[in-house]
Amino acid sequence: MRVVTNNLQYNDVFMFISCNVETDCFLFPVLPEKISYSDSIKNTSVNIVSLGETTVIECKGADTISFSSRFPAVRDQAVVVDQLFTPSYYRDKLEKWRDLQKPVHFVCTSALDINDYYTIEDLSYSEEGGPVGEIAFTIKLKLYRPPTIRKIDLSPKDNTVAEVTTDTGRVDNTIKPSTYTVVSGDTLAKIAKAKLGSISKYKDIYELNKDIIKDPNKIYPGQVLKMPTDK
C-alpha cells in the first residue's frame, strides 16, 4: 500500500464534485489542509514447498482519497469560492449522492492532479467552535470502475480457439428524475408541501416543468410533472 499526503497550497487550486452528468455539482468552499491518497496492490505471500516464500501479484486494489474540511456558515478568509451556500446545502447533496449509490466525479487541481469517478464510502460530520451552523466534515472516496464484462465466443470456427473479448462499460452517474401525476384539487404549492416538505419549493417544480406549465397557478389532472431530486 502506498499512502501519499499532499499539503494543499491555495494558489490556483480548486476542488469540484458532481453527479448526474455534471448537472448536480458544487465547489468545496474551504480547501482542506491536506488530502490523503492511498493506492493498494493486493499482493499475497505464500510458501511453496522447495521454493520458499513467493509473492503472488494480484489485481490492483481501488485507490482511496480522504480529507477533512468544513462548510462555513459565514464567509471568512478561508473561503475560496465566489458563491457560498448554506452548510446544509453541501451536506444534503453529499448525503443524497451517497444514498443513491451513484459514482461522483471528483476533481482536485493540486499536485495530485485528481480527475476521476469515485464512490462516497464514508461521510461524517461534527459541529465545532465557530459561527453557529458551521459543519465540519470528513469524507472518504473510493475509485470507481465500471464493471468489465468478458465475452467468450464459443461458436465453431475452423482452426480457431474460443475468442475472448472485454467490454468495459462507461461510467453512468445519471439520476433518473422522479415524477408526480396531478390529480383533481392539486396546486403546485400543495404538491410542494406534500412531496418536498415546503410550500416555497413550488417554484422549483415550476422551473422544471415550464414546457408543460404556462401559468404556475393553473395545472390540470393527468399532467405528469418532473420533481426536484434535491432534499
Question: What's the CATH code of the domain at 221?
Answer: 3.10.350.10
Residue 154 has pLDDT above 80, yes or no: no
At a CB cut-off of 8 Å and minimum separation 6, what does 9 contact? 110
pLDDT at 60: 58
- pLDDT at position 166 is 58
* 36 Cβ contact partners less than 8 Å away, ≥ 6 residues apart: 3, 4, 5, 65, 66, 67
Kindly state whether residues 61 and 106 are assigned to the same domain: yes
Of 27-31, 43-47, 150-154, 184-188, which gets the smallest average pLDDT? Answer: 43-47
Instruction: Note the pLDDT of residue 42.
Output: 55
And the C-alpha cell for 135? 459543519
Is 72 domain-assigned? yes
Query: Has residue 163 been placed in a domain?
Result: no
Beta carbons of 8 and 69 less than 8 angstroms apart:
no
Residue-wise pLDDT tens digits, 208-229? 899 888 888 889 888 889 888 7
Q: Is residue 149 part of a domain?
A: no
Identify whether 166 is part of a domain. no
Burial (CB < 10 A; 0-12, 13-18, 19+), residue 197, is: exposed
Cell 465540519 identifies what position?
136
State the total domains in the chain: 2
Cα(3)–Cα(23) distance, rounded to whole angstroms?
32
Give the contacts of 82 (CB within 8 A, at least 6 positions apart). Answer: none
Q: Return the H-helix or E-strand segment holding 98.
A: helix 87-100
Choose among 230, 106, 216: nearest CA to 177.
230
Indicate which CATH number applies to the domain containing 26: 2.40.30
**Per-residue pLDDT tens for 45-100?**
545 454 455 555 555 567 889 999 999 999 999 999 999 999 999 999 999 999 88
Indicate whether 190 pLDDT > 70.
yes
Domain that holds residue 196: 178-227
H runs (alpha helix) in 87-212: 87-100, 188-196, 202-208
220 and 120 assigned to the same domain: no
- What is the average pLDDT across 156-177? 60
How is residue 195 annotated by DSSP?
A: H
Q: Give the bridge partners for 122, in sequence order.
A: 140
The dihedral of CA 97, 174, 104, 1: what is its sign? positive
In a domain, 159, yes or no: no
Cα 146 to its chain centre, rounded Å, is 15
Does 149 score more than 60 pLDDT?
Answer: no
Burial of 49 (0-12, 13-18, 19+ CB in 10 A): exposed
To the nearest whole percent, how much of the chain has pLDDT over 90? 30
Percentage of the chain beyond pLDDT 70 is: 71
Residue 94 lies inside a defined structural domain of this protein? yes
What pTM, to 2 d.p., does this model score? Answer: 0.59
151 within domain boundaries = no
CA 153 to CA 81: how far, in whole Å?
A: 53
pLDDT tens digit sequence for 5-21: 545 445 568 899 998 87
pLDDT reported for residue 22: 80
